[in-house]
Structure 1
Amino acid sequence: MPSIQWPALAQYPGICLIIGLALQSQSQVHALSSQTATNPAASPTAECSNSDQRYLQLASPGLQEATELLANRFGLQLVSSADVVALPVANNPTPACRTLPQWLSLLLPDHIGYRVIEDTLVLSAHLAPAAQTTAAITIKATPTASIDLPDEIFVTAELQAGASRRSAPELTGNHDFKLDREQLRQTGVRNLPAALELASGVKIENNRYAIIRGMTGRYQTIQINRGELPSLDPAGQNFPLDFIPLGILNSIDLQKSVYADAPGQASAGILNLDTMQLPEHDYAQLAANYLYRQGSNSSSTLQGYSSSSDWYGFDDGSRRIPDLLLHTARQGSLDDLSNTQRQQLGEAVVGDMGLYQAHSQSSGGLDISTGLSRQISNATLGGTLSFNLRDHWQNTWIQSTSYSTGTGYSGSSADFHHEDSTHQRSEHIVDLSAMAALGLDINDAHYLGFNVLWLHQSTHRAELIETQGKSEHDIPSNTAYRRALINWTERSLLQRQLYGRHQLTSATDLYWQIASTQTNYDRPHDLDYRYSSTSENSDYQLQLSPSTTNIGWRSMQQQSHSISLHLNRIYSFGINSHLLTGELKWGWESSQKQRHGYNLLYTYSGSDDLTSNSQLMEQPNPNDILTPELITGDASSSGFILQDTLLDTDSSTSLSGRFYSATQINRATYLLNDLDLSEHWQLISGIRREYNQMTAALWNTEAHAEEPLQTASRWLPSIALEYRPSFHQLRANYSQTVVWPRFNELLPVIYEDLDTRTKTIGNPDLNNSDVHNWDLSWQWKPLDIPLRLGSSLYLKRIHHPIEGTFTDDTEATDQASYSNYSYQNSPFGQVQGLELEADYQWQWSGQHFKIQGRYANIRSHVQQRVTGQQNTDETGSDSDVITETTTKTSDSRPLQGQPAYISALRLQYQPSNTHTFSLVYKRSGTQLYITSDRNDLPAVYQQPRNHLDLSWTYQLKPARLTLNINNLINTAHHYQQGDYHYLSYRTGREYWLSLDVGF
């Protein structure tokens, strides 16, 4: 295979490399052409009794072609410098079985040296001659992954700290985007979401969630070391990528086209995060950073109650639910308590409800990592340890509009048509993470590894919302209120993973892994209360009712267990004069997730003499109203009494209650064949059988057995054909995937989204979505110019797509509110897109320039069921309202989460080896955010936004200094609903300074 040449790099000292054209499949040996095989029955393993040897016959005198063939046979990727490409072989060896050092000593001229680093064979005149480096060789008999073009100009053969041996089977197919540990450092990005935005067709939502090819989290899979990362939020389905610190990662790998060896959920793609494992040598690394966010740091901020241990991310227990209250919730109601007990709980539940002005501090972080490696006889033993801390503040000022709780957009029966609100939101977030890994490599044939990963995030949020009711003509009404939201949230993940790789023969590898993951979510003493004013001249008074004042405790725990086996077998056979090679993969995967939690809400009711006392109810702090002397346990007494807030989420089924449990079981078996038909043609075919079962139970006072929500299985076929002429790569493939609904989409549990103020509730009747995926991709990497072009066409046909839809939840909560949404299946959806990529670099007067362009144009449409209202009486008198359900195809109505386009442009300027400047511009098109199934209620669309980041890196070994200025333009985040601004806010510019030192 030819290599991309970067001649401009040859003048620099050190080892200057040319990245070879990517090997097409991560676990395959490329086919030999008929010109390179004289014996049709020859096999890379059968011909050679020694597993370290390979049979080879050369037909070309060119050194480049010969070493490419040699690297393929030994399962290595080839990297060579410009001075190697045009050379002839030193000798023309006879066909035979030889080891890699023996072959190279015969092929290479005296002035060309080599080195094997990980799974890469490096050839360069800057290396010592082969005879001097033979003892340092480590040969990998296993096939290797393709290398995506790196995002930096300079790639050196220096082994970077943290490089680890491959211990997990990589997925079949091309890497659409891949960055290793060193490239992540060089790009100047400070978190994982920012790194992924360098990939084409990827958009990051809220600086934490990835949208791949315009498809939201339900259509993708995120894995760490090939184990799935579960959601950390009971109301969510995505894993927050900003939760993963870059310091623990060895590489990130994104594949948008998947085959039978990938999870069926990965319709849009799969993101795999590879953590630090067994290092090649000892290292230590320290990174400290300082972050200044405009309007957020060293500024006035809102704050609720703070415990003594909040500063390091843990509640000290003072917010915990009282034991008697939790016991009562599980056994009955507050009415079952004695008056004294109820009064005591009423006093305890109040806690500190005040909303205060405070002062934010500086933001920053600290990353520490180290690794050790020791050679013991024929084995290598080592491990890595890392710790990461991030502390950051965020103030956000938001403008929003929501429709009234009346009959909808076409007219309102309430005293206002819509509400205009101004928000001040303050957040203090502390992220802690630690990872420990141990690895044992025996003879490069057996690898055992053990990882422990711990993540913890705390968020202290306070928000003040001032709202004014408006008429349909935007005239202020008499209704206005002030709403306070105060909550403390802790999310944590603890994952233990044991895995291994065993080279059973020189052509057969066995991979296995066992993982256990525990996630916890806790939101104690969650406060939500309102002060209302009913006329222009009246003051604000605290409103006490379940719809206006709630004190809650929300908790979720989830246990996830997974086990998998993967067997890879390289084979070959002859047909006439052709020797065909390929790889056969078989795998079995099983996972079980068990989730349980509760959602407990309480409020207070007051006697008439107190609630009518305006002087009392106008006190701005609820603690001055709900005082101990005014709290009672007797409903007939004058005072305030604690009340249950029971939400009968679905009275038509047994799935109703404040406590819940759910279990998901997923099992899969697959068989995949990756065959090289010739030097230029490759065929991948496979089949996957996946079974999924979801059961759940909800209750108030008595737990009962879980009942089935959904049980289904699917056959998921895939096939791809690839053609690889010189400098080109053309691939066409088809695959079938399936979207299994997540816990939050099925369970009828109500949660409030803190960003949009909408209440979400699952739909137990939701069906899975079947997705048919067609892809056609092309890449061009010429040898003579430093240019790479790529394009991809894709089509996804989705049967019963799942979408979040506005709903009037009158049956669930006895009130109409179009700020609520649930999930529903549309009959059919289709997504089609075009992705374009271009990378070009050049050198002028010792200075290096690089430009990268990414553009994805996306079109989609959905058949939807729309509920409309019509008047059957044309006389103007009172009439019956008839609700009709119709199904229609609307090309103008895109699939939820689909932006019209995703674009990015990156410019890099490197005046010397020590300085690098980068400028990144990003923009996405209009995106459907929340759908609506009513003609009289508009959907919400996220509007296009410009984003510009600037970074400067100064490298002076062993230190690196990085300065980032993010969100330079500070364009507003804007969401439109009909004629109104659903949400509008700016996040401010960020200034990030980091010092990274490695030894």
Structure 2
Amino acid sequence: MIKWRTFCLVVLVAVLLSASVALPQEAGGIRGVVYDKDFDVPLAAAEVTIAETQERATATDEGNYVFGQVEPGTYTLVFSKSGYARRVKADVVVSPGQMTELSASLSGEFTEMEEFVVQDIQIGTGTEAALLDLRIESPALMDSISSELMSIAGAGDAASALKLVAGATIQEGKYAVIRGLPDRYVNSQMNNVRLPTADLEKRAVHLDQFPSPVIESVQVSKTFTPDQQGDASGGAVNVVLKGIPSERIFHISAQTGYNTNVKDAGDNFLSYSGGGLNFWGKDDGLVTQESGTNWTGAVGTSTTDEPTDYKWSFAYGDKFEFDDFTLGAFGSFYYERDNSFYDDGVDDDFWVYRDDLLTGSLPYPMTPRFSGGDPEENDEDDWTKWTTSLFDVTKASQTVQWGGLGTIGLETESHSLKALYMYTRDAKDEVILAENTRGKESLHIYWPDFYPQVKFDEPIPSAYNGLASPPLRNQSLVYTERTTETLQFSGKHTLDFFPDFGITDFFTLQSPELDWTIANSTATLYQPDKRFISNAWNIFPEEIPWTILGWDEGIYTQNDFGGGQGTTGNLYRKWKNVEEESNQYSLNFKFPFEQWSGEEGYVKIGFFDDDVERTYDEESFANFSDPMGYYTPAGWLPYWTDIWPQQGHPLEESYFDVGYDGKQNISAFYWMTDVPLNSYLKFTGGYRFEKTELEITNRPDVKPNGEIVANYFNFEWMQDGTVYIGNPAYDPDRPELTDTSFKQDDVLPSLAFEFKPWDAVTLRGCYSETVARQTFKELSPIKQQEYVGGDIFAGNPDLKMSALENYDLRLDFTPYEGSLFSVSYFKKDVTNPIEYVQLDDGINQFTTAVNYPKGELEGFEFEIRQQMGRFLSGLEGLSVGANATFIDSEVTLPTNELNSFKFYNAPAEPTRDMLNAPEHLYNLYLTYDLPDTGTQLGLFYTVRGDTLVAGSGVSAVGFIPSLYETEYGTLNFSLSQKLGDDWKLKFQAKNLTDPLIETVYRSDYIDGDVTRTSYRKGMEFSISLSGSF
């Protein structure tokens, strides 16, 4: 990597030197008239500023302004006057020896601008007004969120900002979902560069890693054009970073706050001995532990005082004018500590037991899922231990996030060059305490014929299995570090040494444009010593009768993981390291032209290549041969884990760990054209030729005796719906059994039109074809599980890529600046959608990925943005925005899966909803600017509808209904006040509704929803002070 970056630096320096000697050209100029938009009359004394040079001109009494000597190039003009909304005009081209005509109209209202205007492709994208212009001008259907709106909404990172976009939401707090299509169908980029990911489950970028201090805007393209990535099916999310300012800036900010759940926890905040995070969120290093001995370090939870939330950041930027070029730089650094806590969590595992399925009586009863025995075998002479999973959950996390951004750029009349480096580090210490006491206490509810209801202080009947559903205590200590690092070099060049030429006035080809990007990016995930322990509380009375309470008379026993692999143990410790590196380049040529009616279009061709290498390693240990299988304390409350480290619990290495190397190459060539037929109709279209290559090489564990562990499954569906699962011995002469490769070439067309009958009305339509890829994990048959006896995932080497046909139609109405009314229709037909199923042959059970035959998703989006001062002068400064998305989706189940449901007499429909596609999304926000006092208020309400997160499943022992996340809404409020010219004080209140975040089992064949998980996040309050100089 070091040599590669050195080479890139040499190339950058060489190009900078060659560009800096470009010869100056004859000056041009800019002139025009500034109007009052409300009365359509010239506006006197308006100020016009060229952002790049800071030259200023004042409009005359007739509204005229002029810049007589402007060097040829592309500029941004800012029109302003006290009491009027500023207007930004980007991409104003000045040609040698020519005067550019540019007029503007200002509305009689006030909108606060950002501290600076960013150059290059980022000019003006920090404000909502500029992004509305970008929305209208973009060849793709685009929605954006500016840093301006992010600040008002209190969006602390890219993930939070994305939730403000129509049709967009966030899965698990970090993955982008666009129009109901999850991460697989959404391409996330940074400055148009595709980033790697070290995610354990998905090939999806964690958007919560990119905080607001480094973000200029978040742009979402909802239609595919050939110059985009081929997997941008749901959309492409581009996080645009802040760039070089137009003038010197220095910005500092500090904030402190708290979460109500954390505050209420007080000195009962969950942690562990040695837990928490150091200042930089970096592990202190490995402690050498010897296999077969009792290891040091806490294995269970404890409590501590609640930590404090705070963050701070600073940024500095400047640019320097020279005779022939401009040099600029920008740098920022941020630091944040954040904490979360809840103690009202529920995690209940239910199913419809096979015996209840066989009765065929509807609705089917839902009972706790059990393992290790049968609740209906209640023999006082043969007590069998069997367990349920009805857990009450307490969870706490502490997070440290910090990073920096540095940009340097050089511009001449025809060339723009930029180098960017960004580094982010995110460390999280997560502690989970899950206790199952309800399983014992509610036996009579689910199995009344075998377990009659009794009170705590009453004797238990003799025929009552004392080991039935014992209380359980599970404790997890999870420390994780994530980093993202990217080094990017980019350039834009106007090849003006090519003269304009054409066929008379019918067609004129203008100077070609070239842009390029070279990037090296790395993402890592490091989990040192993740720990999980499970204990059962068993009651062994000396004589009958005994009481169900039993908290003071019993013993702890190890709740063995088992897992059908001949291994046991109830303490598990794991090291995991994932690293993914990407080397990427893109090269684009654009040939602009002017056609017969004077309209401008272009032809564009380009190349793209992204090489990704992924390394996955893990090492795990457990107390497989622990001589101390039980512990007799004073009662249930003294945790066994409190004295565990002082006892003799030797840990041994597990030989079922996963290690693999993965490679992915995506290469592409495309061509596209934008052809205006006249002033109101144009077409954009072309093809992208994309090649995908995936390789996975397995590195299986080797036992001390030299035996190579067979850590993979293969499976085959039978005609009757059952499945055969094979687990053959590892054959070193047949690596193809575990090593997987995949290749596919795709031709992806796109055709779009734009019809603009009036200046304020734009109708767009698009048809395109895109793809969705498998992940390394999904394609490899290697068995992966978080701990021995836990859920197993094994990939499918026969898994195919998904193909999508996309249809989009949007109508935008912008009657005046700052106003928008929009309606969109979209439809996506999916061939071979990738879904997860659970396979069970009665011995082995695991989850895998399969291709369903087809899927379909369609919906409508509605959006409005309105400045209310246009209707009533008393509402000047009040802006209202709202958007709503309604989604209808379904996938068709494959025949073999339907046969499997029928074989086990389980209910099944031929179709179901698509995973992670919410039924609807609503966003409503109000902002109120009071320029006379420097006060700004913001209110934001977001609603996500019911969303399918897991489809129904069936096995030899039961039927599990579909799992939905129920609808919930969040309300955020912000109030900021200027203190003089340089300082601003801000108060924020987030999640004021504090809704119940809940998943439920749902099916037409059970009696209503049954809770699977639930918790509340708590409300957040903060106060910050910032200064800009």
Could you say if the C-alpha distance between residues 196 and 154 of structure 1 is closer, same or farther in structure 2, counting changes exceeding 3 Å? farther
**1:568 correspondence with 2:590:** yes
**Cross-structure match for 1:165:** 120
**Cross-structure match for 1:303:** 271
Give how far 1:600 is off: 1.9
Q: Structure 2: how far apart are the matches of 1:179 and 1:611?
A: 57
Q: SS at the partner of 2:623? A: strand
Q: Structure 2: how far apart are the matches of 1:221 and 1:916?
A: 34
Contact kept in structure 2, 1:308 and 1:316, CA below 8 Å: no
1:802 to 834, 852, 855: 834
Give how far 1:645 is off: 2.6
Give how far 1:786 is off: 6.5
1:519 to 523, 540, 546: 523
Contact kept in structure 2, 1:225 and 1:272, CA below 8 Å: yes
Could you say if the C-alpha distance between residues 472 and 789 of structure 1 is closer, same or farther in structure 2, counting changes exceeding 3 Å? farther
Q: Structure 2: how far apart are the matches of 1:555 and 1:140?
A: 55
Could you say if the C-alpha distance between residues 110 and 222 of structure 1 is closer, same or farther in structure 2, counting changes exceeding 3 Å? same
**1:474 correspondence with 2:421:** no
Give how far 1:396 is off: 2.0
**Cross-structure match for 1:27:** none
**Cross-structure match for 2:494:** 503
**Cross-structure match for 1:460:** 429
Contact kept in structure 2, 1:524 and 1:552, CA below 8 Å: yes
**Cross-structure match for 1:650:** none
Contact kept in structure 1, 2:482 and 2:524, CA below 8 Å: yes
**Cross-structure match for 1:132:** none
Q: Structure 2: how far apart are the matches of 1:114 and 1:761?
A: 69
1:423 is aligned with what amino acid? Answer: V
Question: Number of residues paired by the alignment?
Answer: 838
Once the two structures are overlaid, the 10-residue window that deviates more, 839-848 or 256-265, is 839-848
Q: Structure 1: how far apart are the matches of 2:696 and 2:411?
A: 43
Deviations 1:10-36 (A, max 9, x none): xxxxxxxxxxxxxxxxxxxxxxxxxxx
Deviations 1:933-962 (A, max 9, x none): 439221110101121111112124212222
Where structure 1 has 5 or more consecutive residues not aligned to the other structure, the ranges are 1-48, 57-62, 68-78, 90-99, 129-135, 326-343, 631-639, 648-656, 873-880
**Cross-structure match for 1:82:** 37
**Cross-structure match for 1:237:** 203
Q: Structure 2: how far apart are the matches of 1:594 and 1:408?
A: 49
1:556 is aligned with what amino acid? Answer: V
Q: Structure 2: how far apart are the matches of 1:464 and 1:84?
A: 66
Q: Structure 2: how far apart are the matches of 1:871 and 1:734?
A: 37
Deviations 1:225-265 (A, max 9, x none): 11112223222333222210111122221111121111011
2:347 to 400, 403, 408: 400
Could you say if the C-alpha distance between residues 708 and 321 of structure 1 is closer, same or farther in structure 2, counting changes exceeding 3 Å? farther
Contact kept in structure 1, 2:76 and 2:92, CA below 8 Å: no
**Cross-structure match for 1:532:** 536
Could you say if the C-alpha distance between residues 714 and 247 of structure 1 is closer, same or farther in structure 2, counting changes exceeding 3 Å? same
1:399 is aligned with what amino acid? Answer: V
Deviations 1:53-88 (A, max 9, x none): 79x9xxxxxx9xx98xxxxxxxxxxx9652795569
Contact kept in structure 2, 1:692 and 1:713, CA below 8 Å: yes
Q: SS at the partner of 2:349? A: strand
Could you say if the C-alpha distance between residues 598 and 80 of structure 1 is closer, same or farther in structure 2, counting changes exceeding 3 Å? farther
Could you say if the C-alpha distance between residues 627 and 124 of structure 1 is closer, same or farther in structure 2, counting changes exceeding 3 Å? closer
Q: Structure 2: how far apart are the matches of 1:569 and 1:196?
A: 33
Q: Structure 1: how far apart are the matches of 2:469 and 2:857?
A: 46
Q: SS at the partner of 2:389? A: strand
Contact kept in structure 1, 2:696 and 2:776, CA below 8 Å: no
State the TM-score, normalizing by the size of structure 1.
0.76
Give how far 1:174 is off: 4.3
Q: SS at the partner of 2:916? A: coil
Give how far 1:541 is off: 2.5
Contact kept in structure 2, 1:286 and 1:997, CA below 8 Å: yes
**Cross-structure match for 1:832:** 858
Deviations 1:381-424 (A, max 9, x none): 12111111110110023112113798698487743595211010
Q: Structure 2: how far apart are the matches of 1:753 and 1:909?
A: 49
Q: SS at the partner of 2:921? A: strand
Q: Structure 2: how far apart are the matches of 1:380 and 1:393?
A: 44
Could you say if the C-alpha distance between residues 828 and 922 of structure 1 is closer, same or farther in structure 2, counting changes exceeding 3 Å? same
**1:865 correspondence with 2:874:** no
Q: SS at the partner of 1:316? A: coil
Q: Structure 2: how far apart are the matches of 1:809 and 1:590?
A: 43
Q: SS at the partner of 2:757? A: coil
Deviations 1:516-550 (A, max 9, x none): 11111111111111011344543333345546331
2:967 to 931, 934, 944: 944
**Cross-structure match for 2:643:** 624
Deviations 1:101-131 (A, max 9, x none): 9xx99x9985333689974445567899xxx
2:1010 to 967, 980, 988: 980
Could you say if the C-alpha distance between residues 485 and 748 of structure 1 is closer, same or farther in structure 2, counting changes exceeding 3 Å? farther
**Cross-structure match for 2:130:** none
Give how far 1:894 is off: 1.0
1:968 to 992, 999, 1009: 992
Q: SS at the partner of 1:725? A: strand
**1:782 correspondence with 2:815:** yes
Contact kept in structure 2, 1:113 and 1:125, CA below 8 Å: no
Contact kept in structure 1, 2:558 and 2:630, CA below 8 Å: no
**Cross-structure match for 1:363:** 309
**Cross-structure match for 2:671:** 671
1:832 is aligned with what amino acid? Answer: E
Q: Structure 2: how far apart are the matches of 1:807 and 1:251?
A: 44
**1:353 correspondence with 2:299:** yes
**Cross-structure match for 1:698:** 698
1:779 is aligned with what amino acid? Answer: D
Q: Percent identity?
A: 20
2:942 is aligned with what amino acid? Answer: K
Q: SS at the partner of 2:592? A: strand
Contact kept in structure 1, 2:110 and 2:929, CA below 8 Å: no
Give how far 1:286 is off: 0.4
1:190 to 156, 159, 179: 156
2:64 to 89, 112, 115: 112
Q: Structure 2: how far apart are the matches of 1:437 and 1:789?
A: 37
Contact kept in structure 1, 2:324 and 2:412, CA below 8 Å: yes
Q: Structure 2: how far apart are the matches of 1:88 and 1:303?
A: 64
**1:251 correspondence with 2:217:** yes
Contact kept in structure 2, 1:544 and 1:605, CA below 8 Å: no
Q: SS at the partner of 1:247? A: helix
**Cross-structure match for 2:800:** 767
Could you say if the C-alpha distance between residues 305 and 112 of structure 1 is closer, same or farther in structure 2, counting changes exceeding 3 Å? farther
Could you say if the C-alpha distance between residues 503 and 693 of structure 1 is closer, same or farther in structure 2, counting changes exceeding 3 Å? same
Q: Structure 2: how far apart are the matches of 1:976 and 1:308?
A: 33
Give how far 1:209 is off: 2.8
**Cross-structure match for 2:629:** 611
Q: Structure 2: how far apart are the matches of 1:607 and 1:837?
A: 62
Superposition RMSD in Å: 4.0
Contact kept in structure 2, 1:418 and 1:471, CA below 8 Å: no
Contact kept in structure 1, 2:197 and 2:580, CA below 8 Å: no
Q: Structure 2: how far apart are the matches of 1:220 and 1:292?
A: 33
Give how far 1:714 is off: 0.7
Where structure 2 has 5 or more consecutive residues not aligned to the other structure, the ranges are 1-23, 45-51, 85-90, 126-133, 359-369, 376-386, 452-467, 497-509, 540-547, 562-567, 703-707, 709-731, 1003-1008
Equivalent residues in 2 for 1:251-270, closer than 5 Å: 251-270=217-236
Could you say if the C-alpha distance between residues 831 and 485 of structure 1 is closer, same or farther in structure 2, counting changes exceeding 3 Å? same
Deviations 1:469-500 (A, max 9, x none): 36695358433310000011101111111111
Contact kept in structure 2, 1:203 and 1:212, CA below 8 Å: yes
Q: Structure 2: how far apart are the matches of 1:869 and 1:916?
A: 57
1:111 is aligned with what amino acid? Answer: G
Give how far 1:916 is off: 1.7
2:393 to 409, 416, 423: 423
1:542 is aligned with what amino acid? Answer: Q
Q: Structure 2: how far apart are the matches of 1:871 and 1:672?
A: 47
Contact kept in structure 1, 2:35 and 2:63, CA below 8 Å: no
Q: SS at the partner of 2:292? A: helix
Could you say if the C-alpha distance between residues 605 and 184 of structure 1 is closer, same or farther in structure 2, counting changes exceeding 3 Å? closer
1:848 to 865, 871, 877: 877
Q: Structure 1: how far apart are the matches of 2:198 and 2:391?
A: 29
2:652 to 640, 643, 647: 643
